[in-house]
Copies of this chain bind each other. A is one copy, B any other.
Amino acid sequence: MITPLANENELDVPGLERLINHIIAGGVHGLFILGTTGESTSLSYEIRHELVKRTCEIVDGRVPVLVGITDTAATESLRLADTAAHSGAAAVVAAPPYYFSLGQPELIEYYEYLVERLPLPLFLYNMPSHTKIVIEPDTVKTLSQYDNIVGLKDSSANNAYFNKVMTKMSDRQDFSLFVGPEEIMAESVLLGAHGGVNGGANMFPALYVELFEAAASGDMETVKKLHGIVMQISTKMYSLGQFGSSYLKGIKGALSLLGICSDYMASPLHRFREKEREVLAAQLKQIQQQL
């Protein structure tokens, strides 16, 4: 889930409520807040804690809430996890610390430190483009021995990696394996992944739920049709502008065009200017006609 912002220091609270209800109405099986798409690392801690509380209140038990606690400072991760536990979240999600470069043994020690202190189950979050480190398949295997480490969200887009993890974890169907980039959700679920964490579901939740269900049940015809629309969204709406953040700008811009919430982005990112917004509006219309 993206984080609706009124400005740098304030949530767009009405927008947050509309967004959550919109997403849940689309049938999603859970809500992941404060991930990369949620701009978590750009938000003040006050906003992060407030978002956890308000989201859990608005969701009110309708679906499980997963809370990103990725941080360079373990104590801040733990503080946020406490707020998550008190607010009724189901689990927390942590990518490796992303300032110092660690080796795999150091990474294992880091997760051990966390998990011994966490009040909620933990999902590992593989995000090498942002954290400069891969959680190697053998590291996932090692860490899965902790009862409180319950799954992995992989946002590497590297399916050779993901398939290796799935193979090594094939004896542990209770260990959840999710993929990040929506472009690869269909094929990953076809081969056994337990789900996708898709930014596009902020805009069109039902589309991604249906694609997941088609993939999980092996309905190739529906998979191909819906995956085709997901790829239209990816190539048309996530590629305006020249920087890495165009994906996020596209989603927030579209949500604003759809009247759901503000497209304000926290520093260091910025929402689209008028010119890109117009192109985005045209492409959004084109996508909507296919749904």
A184 to B235, CA, bound (A): 21
Q: Judging by beta carbons under 8 Å apart, are A75 and B41 in contact?
A: no
Q: Which residue of the partner chain, among B106, B132, B170, B181, contacts A268 with CB atoms under 8 Å?
A: B106
A231 to B198, CA, bound (A): 26
Interface size class on chain A is 35 or more
Q: Judging by beta carbons under 8 Å apart, are B184 and A268 in contact?
A: no
Q: Judging by beta carbons under 8 Å apart, are A74 and B160 in contact?
A: no
Residues of A221-260 contacting chain B, CB below 8 A: 223-224, 227-228, 231-232, 234-235, 242-245
Q: Judging by beta carbons under 8 Å apart, are B101 and A244 in contact?
A: yes
Asked if A113 lies at the interface with its beta carbon under 8 angstroms from chain B, I say yes
Q: Judging by beta carbons under 8 Å apart, are B157 and A161 in contact?
A: yes
Give min CB distance, A143 to chain B, whole Å.
Answer: 14
A244 to B218, CA, bound (A): 35
Partner-contacting stretch, out of A15-23, A26-34, A185-193, A278-286: A185-193
A100 to B73, CA, bound (A): 17
Q: Which residues of B contact A192 (CB under 8 A)?
A: 224
A234 to B164, CA, bound (A): 8
Q: Judging by beta carbons under 8 Å apart, are A99 and B41 in contact?
A: yes
Residues of A73-113 contacting chain B, CB below 8 A: 73-76, 79, 96-103, 106-107, 109-110, 113
Q: Judging by beta carbons under 8 Å apart, are B231 and A110 in contact?
A: no
Q: Which residues of B contact A41 (CB under 8 A)?
A: 72-73, 97, 99-100
Q: Which residues of B contact A44 (CB under 8 A)?
A: 73, 75-76, 79
Give min CB distance, A118 to chain B, whole Å.
Answer: 13
Q: Which residue of the partner chain, among B163, B190, B232, contacts A220 with CB atoms under 8 Å?
A: B190
Residue of B nearest to A186 (CB): B191
Asked if A146 lies at the interface with its beta carbon under 8 angstroms from chain B, I say no
Q: Which residues of B contact A129 (CB under 8 A)?
A: 101
Q: Which residues of B contact A172 (CB under 8 A)?
A: none
Asked if A270 lies at the interface with its beta carbon under 8 angstroms from chain B, I say yes
Q: Judging by beta carbons under 8 Å apart, are B161 and A74 in contact?
A: no
Beyond A43-B75, A157-B160, A166-B231, 15 extra complex contacts between A and B, CB < 8 Å: A8-B75, A41-B72, A41-B73, A43-B73, A44-B79, A45-B45, A97-B267, A98-B98, A101-B244, A102-B244, A102-B245, A110-B268, A132-B132, A159-B187, A164-B183
